[in-house]
Chains A and B, each alone.
Chain A
Amino acid sequence: KAGVTQTPRYLIKTRGQQVTLSCSPISGHRSVSWYQQTPGQGLQFLFEYFSETQRNKGNFPGRFSGRQFSNSRSEMNVSTLELGDSALYLCASSLSPERNTEAFFGQGTRLTVV
């Protein structure tokens, strides 16, 4: 079956712009989580969505937001981009939000802010 699909794979934006990243989970998966991966901070949890509701949010500024649609696809948005937002953004999907459910990760979107 198809895995988690993230688009686009690579993105270059200018400081101050905004960006939207997309994640299509595995068919039948209803929970989607987002993570930011940087060399300095490692992998950090951004937020989790289930049934179109944000269930949990990490310690990121309000410039980072997300949503989930009725088909479980999710988008995350970063407004007023800063150089420090350059990172690999990973999306993970799970059948359910239970903590022992395996999370399947996409290949990520590499965002570069110049």
Chain B
Amino acid sequence: GDSVTQMEGPVTLSEEAFLTINCTYTATGYPSLFWYVQYPGEGLQLLLKATKADDKGSNKGFEATYRKETTSFHLEKGSVQVSDSAVYFCALSLSGGYNKLIFGAGTRLAVHP
């Protein structure tokens, strides 16, 4: 079935380090891909999205490129801040006009000064 696999966390980095969180997917058709972020005690916020192959989503210094050949959507940021500490979820939505999101397990990021 359709699914999303993320690298396990937690990921612990020092401030200004480079971040990569791996995400791969299995899906029929041509899914849209998303990264959501969840800060402690809050709901999810959309970080970025890509709707077709080779699209690059970007926001707040984060980037991810939709790679159909490797079925991947890895999240990257060149220089993380303490305020980026949160849980990051990779997700997909399938073709067919529905709004259902299929999420990965989430990756907790902790950034230390």
Most buried by B among A44, A50, A105: A105
Within 8 Å by CB of A105, from B44, B94, B99, lies: B44
Q: Number of A interface residues, CB 8 Å?
A: 28
Q: Give chain A residues whose Cβ lies under 8 Å from the Cβ of B95.
A: 99
CA distance A70 to B106 in the complex (A): 34
Could you tell me if B100 and A48 are in contact, using CB atoms closer than 8 angstroms? yes
Could you tell me if B99 and A97 are in contact, using CB atoms closer than 8 angstroms? yes
Q: Give chain A residues whose Cβ lies under 8 Å from the Cβ of B36.
A: 105
Q: Number of B interface residues, CB 8 Å?
A: 26
Min CB gap B64→A, angstroms: 15
Q: Give chain B residues whose Cβ lies under 8 Å from the Cβ of A101.
A: 99
Closest to B94 in A: A99
Could you tell me if A98 and B103 are in contact, using CB atoms closer than 8 angstroms? no
Closest to B36 in A: A105
Min CB gap A100→B, angstroms: 5
Q: Give chain A residues whose Cβ lies under 8 Å from the Cβ of B20.
A: none
Closest 8 CB pairs of A and B: A105-B43, A43-B103, A99-B93, A105-B44, A56-B98, A107-B43, A42-B105, A97-B99
Beyond A43-B103, A99-B97, 5 extra complex contacts between A and B, CB < 8 Å: A35-B101, A42-B106, A44-B103, A90-B44, A108-B43
Residues in A lying within 8 Å of B, measured CB to CB: 4, 31, 33, 35, 42-45, 48, 50, 55-56, 58, 90, 92, 94, 97-108
